[in-house]
Structure 1
Amino acid sequence: MITISLCMIVKNEEAVLARCLDTIHDIVDEINIVDTGSTDSTVEIAKRYTDRVFFFPWTGNFAAARTESFKHATKEYILFLDADDVILEEDREKLRKLKETLDPSVDSVSMFYDAGTDAYGNVTLRYRRNRLVRRDRNFQWKGEAHQYLEVYGKIINENISVTHKKIKHSVGRNLNIYKTRIERGDTFSPRDYFYYGNELRENGHPEEAIKAYDKNIEMKEGWVEDKFYACINKGDCYRALGDSANELASLLQSFKFTGTPRPEACSRIGYNFHKKEQYKHAIFWYDLATRLEPDDNQWSFSYPAYSTWYPHLQMCVCYSKIGDLQTAYEHNELAAKYRPNDAAILHNRKWFEGKVKPIEENKTSAEDEVS
């Protein structure tokens, strides 16, 4: 059985740190917590779980802080978490089994990062990260903001999730890091432009975000997945600006980088036609979004809503607009499988009463015809 060091960086995380450690402390063999300047009870909480609490002055560089936390690890493998992450019970069992069975020649194990969930437990944002790595490989952290671990060698993908349960958002923190880098004359990589665009978009600067995304797209270097989402996010910026034509052009541009459509593009294209009351075109794209199978080995962002409840709910509206109430009702019920108490779905269901045949009644009628 392998041994695992948990490595974390924290600052003012008294509200969530115990919640995180309660879900992992009995699986790992060592806990290393690096505090970067807490002024609340974070350090006291950390010391309830480990005597390996260290201090590192915050420099504005996340990669430097994570690298410092890795320096204190002494076990065969390193697992990293943020204070507002948790391991759900199903994933705790999977992680225990992995610890017992992992081939020690593996350099890194990637796991899902469920970075967002809705009120019904549906994952809203998911991507993979190299989560468990061999200590003796000395893999390095890169990036002052939106940092990543530069990993190579024997990597395996596991169906284990780390679930992010954020209760606060550091508005503008990462954007300020990027602006500081610009002021000191740093050269931006394609990845930098992509994440800088994201920060600008999320902080209400769509025009500047579009320029950053275009920089990413224009550069020959860079991860094709970032370029795909640069097109998607650029489309969102144009939508926020009321520019429907450039929104659609940006969404269609994303096909250049994926070859085949993805739900995140299809549902947005559907909505573009939907807003223009071109309902049959909208239905085509929404329907396509529901037919595209997710790839569990995909490393880039995945937003499951765009292939599940969202296009069904939108098709409910579109079919009702063209007078096909029965099909509209059926799509509302498909959306309800994911969000059973959603206010919009319940409102639609009430509106359909007396206007359509319930699904079970239709099923019975079809069975009678067959017999």
Structure 2
Amino acid sequence: MISLSLCMIVKNEQEVLARCLESVEDLFDEIIIVDTGSIDSTAAIAKGFSDKVYDFPWVDDFAKARNYSFSKATMDYIMWLDADDILLPSELEKLKELKRTLSPDTDVVMMKYNVGFDEGGRVTLSYCRERILKRQNNYVWQDPVHEFIPLWGKIIDVDISITHGEKNRTHSDRNLKIYERMLSQGGELSTRGKLYYARELKTHGHMQKGIGQYKAFLAAGDGWVEDCISACFELSFCYEDDENIFNTLCQSFQYASPRAEICTRMGEYFFNRHRFKEAIFWYDLSLKLEKPTGWGFILEDYWGYIPAIQLCLCYYKLSDIKKAIEYNDLAAVFKPDDPSVLQNKQYFQKYNSL
């Protein structure tokens, strides 16, 4: 059986740190916690779970802090978590089994990361992350914000999910300030950094600057395919004019087969122009696509609920009530307690004889 270190970087996480560590009880052979300047009781909580708690001065660089935490690990493999992550009991058992059975020639283990949820707790956004790494390979985190590890070696995917536990977190401008400070000091963005800087700009309402960064990322020509598709999808929301919205969505088709979020957005484009038959084509295509199984972002609602509920509305606009009911029922398969689904069901009761 392999030995396993947990490495974490934390700052002012007194509200969530104990929950995270309790969720992985008895899994790790050592726990490394690096505090980057907490002024609350985070450090005291950390010391209740580990005797390997270190201070590291915050220098506006997540990668440096993570690399420092990795440097303190001594076990065969390293796993990382954020303080607001948790491992659900079912996933903990699967991870314990993986620890018992992992082949020692494995270099990297990829796991699903569930980070977005609806009101009912259903996952709406997930993607895969490098989660367990062989220590002797000396993997290095890169990029000061939205850090990542360039991967090599034998990489395996496992059916284990980490849950990002803080579902209602507000978006601070911390990351945006780090990017802008770095750029003001003459720093350069990696290709991936251009995308994540664009996302920060968009999130904080700086649409014109965001457009420029999205374009810079796409123009670089060496971005990961899944990131390029996501960039086209996100960029389409930055525009207000029809031509740029349409052309940006079409641009995504050059990278890979269509994704449901792109097709659903195309459906929205035509729906908003009262071209319901064209909208139906794109929403229907969204439902027929095969969901990718790679490491990219999966926006779950676009692979079922959203196109189904929109098809209901399209057919209602075309006075095809039978089809509208059919697609509302399909939407209910994905979200049976959704307010729109329930409201539609109540409205369609008068058509039950159809």
Moved over 4 A (4+): none
2:238 match: secondary structure: helix
One-letter amino acid of the structure 1 residue matched with residue 7 of structure 2:
C
What residue number does 2:211 align with? 210
Query: What does 1:87-166 correspond to in 2, within 5 Å?
Result: 87-166=87-166
CA-to-aligned-CA distance 1:67-107 (integer Å, 9 cap, x gap) = 11111111111000000101112211211111111001101
Partner deviation per Cα, 1:318-349 (whole Å, 9 max, x = no partner) = 11000111111121121122222211111111
Contact 1:329 1:356 in 2 (8 A): no
Paired letter, 1:282: A
Give the match for residue 330 of structure 1. 326
> In the alignment, is the contact (CA less than 8 A) between 1:11 and 1:36 conserved in 2?
yes
Q: Quick one: which of 266, 271, 281 aligns to 1:269?
A: 266
Shift of 1:218: 1.2
3-state SS of paired residue (1:83): coil
Match of 2:184 in 1: 183
SS at match of 1:91: helix
Aligned partner of 2:297 in structure 1 is: 301
Structure 2 partner of 1:339: 335
Q: Aligned AA for 1:209? A: G
Maintained 8 Å contact 2:32/2:69: yes
Q: CA RMSD for the aligned pairs?
A: 1.3
What is aligned with 1:252?
Answer: 250
Q: Distance in 2 between matches of 1:32 and 1:188?
A: 30
Aligned to 2:238: 237
CA distance in 1, matches of 2:100, 2:2: 7
2:84 equivalent in structure 1: 84
SS across alignment from 2:33: strand
After superposition, the Cα gap between the structure-2 partners of 1:320 and 1:46, relative to the gap in structure 1 and judged at 3 Å, is same
**How far does residue 121 in structure 1 lie from its aligned partner after superposition?**
3.1
- Cα separation, 2, equivalents of 1:262 and 1:295: 8
Give structure 2 stretches of 5+ with no counterpart.
none
Aligned-partner SS, 2:255? helix
Q: Which residue of 1 aligns with 2:282?
A: 285
CA contact (8 A) 2:211 2:238 kept: yes
Report if aligned partners of 1:20, 1:83 keep a CA contact under 8 Å in 2.
Answer: yes
Output the CA distance in 2 between the equivalents of 1:313 and 1:213. 30
Quote how far apart the aligned CAs of 1:153 are.
0.5
SS of 1:176's partner is helix
How far apart, CA to CA, are the structure 2 residues paired with 1:169 and 1:34? 24
CA 1:110–1:357: 2 relative to 1, 3 Å? farther
Give the 3-state SS of the residue equivalent to 1:131 in structure 2. Answer: strand
- Does structure 1 conserve the Cα–Cα contact (< 8 Å) formed by 2:328 and 2:341? yes
Shift of 1:200: 0.5
Which residue of structure 1 lines up, in the alignment, with residue 174 of structure 2?
173
SS in 2 for 1:337: helix
- The CA distance in 1 between the partners of 2:272 and 2:123, in whole Å, is 26
Instruction: Compute the displacement of 1:357 (Å).
Output: 4.7
Change (3 A) 1:357 1:153: farther
- Hey, what's the Cα distance between the residues in 2 that align with 1:337 and 1:36? 45
Among the aligned pairs, what percent are the same residue?
Answer: 44
**8 Å contact 2:143–2:190 — kept in the other structure?**
no
Query: What SS class does the counterpart of residue 6 from structure 1 fall into?
Result: strand
SS in 2 for 1:160: strand
Partners of 2:36 and 2:171 in 1: how far apart? Answer: 16
Partner of 1:350: 346
Letter in 2 for 1:101: T
Question: Which structure 2 residues correspond to residues 46-57 of structure 1 after superposition, within 5 A?
Answer: 46-57=46-57
Task: State the match for 1:369 in structure 2.
Answer: none
Report if the CA contact (8 A) 1:25-1:49 is conserved: no
SS at 1:27's partner residue? Answer: coil
The letter of the residue matching 2:81 is: L
How far, CA to CA, are the matches of 1:123 and 1:66 in structure 2? 27
Q: Counterpart amino acid of 2:61?
A: N
AA aligned to 2:266 is I
TM-score by length of 2: 0.97
For 2:268 and 2:122, the matched residues in 1 are separated by: 22
Counterpart of 1:16?
16
Count of residue pairs the alignment pairs up: 353
Contact 1:25 1:31 in 2 (8 A): no
- Which deviates further from its counterpart, 343-352 or 224-233? 224-233
Shift in Å, 1:61: 0.2
Q: Deviations over 1:160-199 (max 9, x none)?
A: 1111122433511111111112111222222121111111
Q: Distance in 2 between matches of 1:261 and 1:157?
A: 23
What CA distance in whole angstroms lies between the structure 1 residues aligned with 2:235 and 2:120?
29
Q: Which residue of 2 aligns with 1:74?
A: 74
| AA partner of residue 151 (structure 2) | V
- Three-state SS of the structure 2 residue aligned to 1:323 is coil
User: Does the CA contact (< 8 Å) of 1:116 and 1:165 recur in 2?
Assistant: no
Question: Residue 181 of structure 2: SS of its match in structure 1?
Answer: helix
1:33 aligns with 2:33: yes
Q: Residue 207 of structure 2 aligns to which amino acid in structure 1?
A: P
The Cα of 1:254 is off from its aligned counterpart by 0.5
